[in-house]
Chain A
Amino acid sequence: GAGVSQTPSNKVTEKGKYVELRCDPISGHTALYWYRQSLGQGPEFLIYFQGTGAADDSGLPNDRFFAVRPEGSVSTLKIQRTERGDSAVYLCASSGGLAGYNEQFFGPGTRLTVL
């Protein structure tokens, strides 16, 4: 695809439910990042993949959050037992390939609302 895509664009769920957020990076980008952004704040780092492996998961807030990238392309962020405080825009970014790693290209985000 031409850019990073994320699905769904919006997700409304109830407290305690499980959600999956998907990210499809730019073709050929080996690095993939998940951030979340609350209103009025900058993106907060969650996890970074290099290929299939999580190179840095230090930003995951607790064990309710988990992310995978089994084939080194598409990634899924999984949130168990959602809480109202999980409500935010979840941003995915990718980098690498011919453009190098300097620039992280962001997707449009998934707005998660936990009621």
Chain B
Amino acid sequence: QKEVEQNSGPLSVPEGAIASLNCTYSDRGSQSFFWYRQYSGKSPELIMFIYSNGDKEDGRFTAQLNKASQYVSLLIRDSQPSDSATYLCAVGGDTNAGKSTFGDGTTLTVKP
């Protein structure tokens, strides 16, 4: 079992819809949780990080964390074709630097 699991997809949603991306992790000691976006042929770029249970909103993006269930999700509202990318979930053990363990990503396609 991988430490960070994501559904590989592809996930396809129509433009304007909500895209929901999910991630589970195995290490209960994990303290920091990240969502990265990676366009084809490019490097990952951070979208959001979350440390506490509950929701964290930033523009069209909402990260949700449930440590008891070892589950973190990303919601993208009003999806745009430019959101089409691979979304990587990453988990860290320390909120102050340290390595991140990445999932293999979910490929999202937003159709016009």
A interacts with B: yes
Chain A interface size, as a band, is: 20 to 34
Q: Are B99 and A106 in contact (CB under 8 A)?
A: no
Q: Are B49 and A48 in contact (CB under 8 A)?
A: no
Kindly specify which of A63-71, A78-86, A94-102 makes contact with the partner chain.
A94-102
Q: Are B99 and A56 in contact (CB under 8 A)?
A: yes
Q: Are B49 and A45 in contact (CB under 8 A)?
A: no
Q: Are B98 and A48 in contact (CB under 8 A)?
A: yes
Counted as pairs of residues, one from A and one from B, with CB atoms less than 8 Å apart, the total is 57
Q: Which residues from 28 to 69 on chain A have a C-beta closer than 8 Å to any C-beta of chain B? A: 31, 33, 35, 40-45, 48, 50, 55-56, 58-59
Q: Are B99 and A101 in contact (CB under 8 A)?
A: no
Q: Which residues of B contact A55 (CB under 8 A)?
A: 97-98
Q: Which residues of B contact A41 (CB under 8 A)?
A: 104-105
CB distance from A69 to the nearest CB of B (A): 14
Given the known interface contacts A42-B104, A43-B88, A103-B49, the answer about A50 and B43 at a Cβ–Cβ threshold of 8 Å is no
> A33–B46 Cα gap in the complex (Å)?
15
> A64–B8 Cα gap in the complex (Å)?
31
Cβ contacts A to B, 17 pairs, < 8 Å: A31-B97, A40-B8, A40-B104, A41-B104, A42-B4, A42-B102, A42-B103, A43-B44, A43-B100, A45-B100, A55-B98, A56-B98, A91-B43, A95-B97, A101-B96, A105-B46, A106-B44
